[in-house]
Amino acid sequence: MNTSWLDLFPDHIQALLRCMPQDVMKPLEEIRLREGRPLELNYEGVFQFLTPAGTFTRKPEEAYKPTREDMLRLLDMMSNHSLYTLEEELRKGFITIPGGHRVGLAGRTVLSDGKVRHIRDISSFNLRLAKEIRGAAEPLLPYLLDRDRNRIRHTLMVSSPQKGKTTILRDLARLISSGYSPSAFTACQGKKVGVVDERSEIAGCIQGVPSFDLGPRTDVLDGCPKAEGMMMMIRSMSPEVLLVDEIGRPEDAEAVSEALHAGISVVATAHGSSLEDAAGRQALASLMKARVFERYAVLDRSQGGFFFRLYDASVNEIKSSWPHGVVT
């Protein structure tokens, strides 16, 4: 596991984190620092606090409590000693660091004309670690392939946070681009894939180059707003399949429709614990009502791996991997 993200932390916190055993370090998902409150870890649905000795505890009073100096040092390292360069990220409430890892921020917001301008007096950090799980999308991919027309079906994947949307989307890019998967479709020609990675999480680009394996025929627009990025991809890179994470705004829906009219397959994700949740957002509801998507996948996960429920364009369930088809 690449642990370069550890270098962001003050030396004494690095030392505590490095005390973690490998069976915790490998599945580690979140590190939460809250000023003056317990340092918290999340792995495989388990939450633990970290003590000043580098051991685990469930008692908040025994945990290490990050100081104001710790928080300022962490922010300084994340901004590469130049906080003004993060103005846009501070407005959005998160920073993406090399490797596709995402750091959520909370503190005092500064408003301008009723809108958030940026966050200051940051008192909480949530480092969400991005992971590449090769093969995670293999059980799902056969149901997205239209073999008669040799194309990928327009697909919307829905899940709550940390249930696998981005991980599955990342692996789909690799599989579709490479055109080979033992369990999905063998000896199939790879397709031109375009990835619009607004939050720099799917590809984890460093200076424009993906740090994750997205396949040999994949192009990435990094840090670009989704709607604008989809149109740029259509005009400039002629993708056969377009992948985009977390759609939901009206402009996203318009760009998805444009891609479909251009003959491009779209695989997108959206937040929600169910299709009903997704349909509660007006932009997604309009796409669903028009039966734009040919497949819907509701994703979930447990310590055993990823699960999905698959639906057709009419939202009739056609496949479920609960409790079978687990990816480990």
User: pLDDT tens for residues 220-255?
Assistant: 999 899 999 999 999 999 999 999 999 999 999 999
Average pLDDT over residues 13-35: 90
**pLDDT value, residue 181:** 55
**pLDDT value, residue 304:** 61
- Per-residue model confidence as pLDDT tens digits over 258-295: 999 999 999 999 999 999 999 999 999 999 999 999 99
Average pLDDT over residues 167-195: 81
In the predicted structure, residue 184 carries a pLDDT above the cut 60: no
How sure is the predictor about 3, in pLDDT bands with cuts at 50, 70 and 90? Answer: low
pTM across the whole model: 0.80
Percent pLDDT > 90 in the chain is 58
Q: How far apart are CA 202 and CA 195, in angstroms?
A: 8
Tell me which residue has tokens 């606090």: 49
Average pLDDT over residues 284-308: 89
**pLDDT value, residue 322:** 65
Average pLDDT over residues 45-65: 94
301: which residues sit within 8 A by CB, 6+ positions away?
Answer: 162, 163, 164, 307
**pLDDT value, residue 328:** 31
* pLDDT-wise least confident of 114-123, 188-197, 216-225, 258-267: 114-123
**pLDDT value, residue 26:** 84
Comparing 86 with 51, the larger pLDDT belongs to 51
* pLDDT-wise least confident of 104-118, 131-145, 241-255: 104-118
Reduced to 3 states (helix: H, G, I; strand: E, B; else coil), residue 117 is strand
Task: Judge residue 50's burial from the number of C-beta atoms within 10 Å of its C-beta, 0-12 exposed, 13-18 middle, 19 or more buried.
Answer: buried
The chain-wide mean pLDDT, for the chain, equals 88
Question: Apex CA 63: angle with CA 60 and CA 67, to 5°?
Answer: 110
- Per-residue model confidence as pLDDT tens digits over 147-176: 888 899 999 999 998 888 999 999 999 999
Average pLDDT over residues 192-199: 94
**pLDDT value, residue 188:** 65
Task: Judge residue 203's burial from the number of C-beta atoms within 10 Å of its C-beta, 0-12 exposed, 13-18 middle, 19 or more buried.
Answer: buried
Average pLDDT over residues 26-33: 91
Nearest residue to 108 (alpha-carbon basis) of 98, 99, 118: 118
How sure is the predictor about 256, in pLDDT bands with cuts at 50, 70 and 90? Answer: very high
Q: Is the dihedral of CA 198, 203, 208, 211 positive or negative?
A: positive
How sure is the predictor about 2, in pLDDT bands with cuts at 50, 70 and 90? Answer: low
**pLDDT value, residue 325:** 41
Question: Do residues 255 and 231 touch, judged by C-beta distance below 8 A?
Answer: yes
Question: What are the φ and ψ backbone dihedral angles of 285, each rounded to 5 degrees?
Answer: -60, -40
Q: How far apart are CA 56 and CA 29, in angstroms?
A: 16
